[in-house]
Chain A
Amino acid sequence: MFSRAYKSAITLPPLFWVATFLLTPYALLFCYSFWSVSPAQIIVRQWNLENYRELLRVSMYPAVLLRSMRIAASVTALALLLGYPLAYYLSVHAGTRKHLLYQLVVIPLWVSYLVRAYAWKTILGSDGVLNTLLQYFHITHHPLGFLLYSPFAVVLTLTHIYTPFVFLPIYASLEHIPRRLVEASQDLGAPPLETFWRVILPLSIPGVLAGATFAFVLSLGDFLAPLLLGGPSGVMISNVVVSLFGAAYNWPLGSAISFCMLLLVVALLFLTERLEKRWSFS
């Protein structure tokens, strides 16, 4: 029913725009990663693998990447630990209050990222709310130093930020589970725990994977929470990139790191999609 002209009119403009403002920039990132900087701080467009060699040679880069992955993995695990039971409770046991509670989970999602990171900073500082509260009730006598400017602070903040994101797809997949499957399991005499373990959990895996990927990828690439709350021991890979694009002025090396991150993310998305297909029920 749609003419050729109509199809071109809806296809070409977005195609052109996306090619110019998304594909080209990512391609530029790729190109830069093979270039270098002259001592006079000019970008030299000579193709070589020097940046990638440097990433392998200087042990700081893999070490920081590893730390970032560790932090991202902790955030993912904690967000799942908080998000899954919450989603399960809402989906199965909340009854009529389900929609209200659902909206209560979503609201923090809409609160500015920066605002939430800042809030944790005021809570965890040595003059912060938590430390002064502990001292007020004489639980501690000195401010606890490890709370702020540590990987702990970064993990806590990112967990707070990404728990709702993990909750949403899990909740959605729990809601999609056909009721008859759960009833069948119960009718056949499975105790609640076994029904959960063998019916509900496997069917909610696509949601778990989606939420986990999201939390992992976004915390891996985060640079604001580490800058604000991480201190020297909480530096993450994106902070290295930021400094390479700023004061250190080495865009090509920064691009090489960014491109590795891009590859990592795309590979993860690919993997998740595969796994999701395997686990999805239909």
Chain B
Amino acid sequence: MNAAHTRGPRWLRLYAAAVFAFLYFPILVLAVYSFNGEGVGGFPPHNLTCRWYAMLLDDSAIWSSVGNSLLVAFFAVVLALAFGIPAALALDRTSFPGKALFRRLVLLPLILPGIITGLSLLMLFVAFRMNLSLVTIALGHGTALISVATTEVFAGLQKLDRAQEEASLDLGANYWQTFWRVTVPNLKLPIIGAVLLIFTLSIDEIAVSFFLIGRNNTLPLEIWSRLRRGITPEINAISTLIFLFSLTMILVWYRLGTRGEREPRLAEELVPGAVQEG
């Protein structure tokens, strides 16, 4: 914003450093104490050990919940893309009665506290007489995260040159061929971005899953049930691994090379009216 990149007043620099410290302190503590021999607290850390990680390796309940989470995230991605991409196209290219309401409804689960979406879906599944299971969680995540696919793809569509699609149609390709050979390749980056975001958000999601859980736990719910029973550094260990996983995802996301030119939309898109009617 400012032409002259002065380093700014000293207090502001210190303040920014303090905020960074606040943001990273808990994560640092978590990682350090995952190696602590004697419990999750106590200063200074004692008897550094890798035994919690070894214990984690043998913990079949955790790993099966990891498997469940991956499965749920996979289907959430498929579901959210299957409906989110057409929804973005529809917002960009058509007008129909109730379009404004539709747009708001799609975005609502992102801004609404998870408990409301979770409970509402619970009532729906009860009304459908569906047993709660990983299926209901995947349906919940997929539906709530259509919003992410829609906003990412919609933003991509704004930059898309429609002449290419027109040319494809003029040259005799049908809509289906045009969609797969022209539209989707042009939207590759937004779609990959959406996949990464949806996948990570689904893996971390707990408030909606909390109400839709059947017999099989997802990873956050498995951790949650352990937290209720008492805490060991094993939870620190799995948390540290989750952090490293998130870090990897975000590095992949940036390596796509899109971040430099793109606006930081991650939170902007959560704002009402972020997706304007096309």
Interface of A toward B, CB cutoff 8 Å: 1-3, 5-7, 9-11, 13-15, 17-18, 21-26, 28-29, 32, 82-83, 85-86, 88-96, 99, 102-116, 118-123, 125, 127-129, 131-133, 135-136, 160, 163-165, 168-169, 171-172, 174-175, 177, 179, 182-183, 200, 210-211, 213-214, 217-218, 220-224, 228, 238, 241-242, 245, 251, 254-255, 258, 261-262, 265, 269-270, 272-273, 276
Contacts and interface: CB of A to CB of B under 8 A. Distances in A.
> Which 8 pairs across A and B sit closest by C-beta, in order of nearness?
A221-B113, A93-B8, A25-B120, A168-B267, A119-B26, A14-B87, A95-B5, A132-B43
Given A93-B6, A93-B8, A168-B266, A217 B124 contact: no
Nearest to A211: B267
Interface string B190-228: 000000000010011011001100000000100110010
B266 A107 contact: no
A221 B7 contact: no
Contacts of B116: 26, 29, 221, 258, 261-262, 265
Interface stretch (B57-65, B70-78, B231-239): B231-239
Given A132-B42, A223-B207, A10 B267 contact: no
B202 to A, nearest CB: 12
A118 B105 contact: no
B93 A160 contact: no
Interface of A is mostly: helix
A10 B206 contact: no
Nearest to A177: B1
Given A119-B239, A169-B271, A214-B111, 13 more contacts: A10-B90, A17-B143, A29-B120, A85-B15, A86-B19, A107-B247, A113-B204, A114-B220, A122-B40, A129-B41, A213-B111, A214-B267, A245-B119
Contacts of A89: 8, 12-13, 15-16
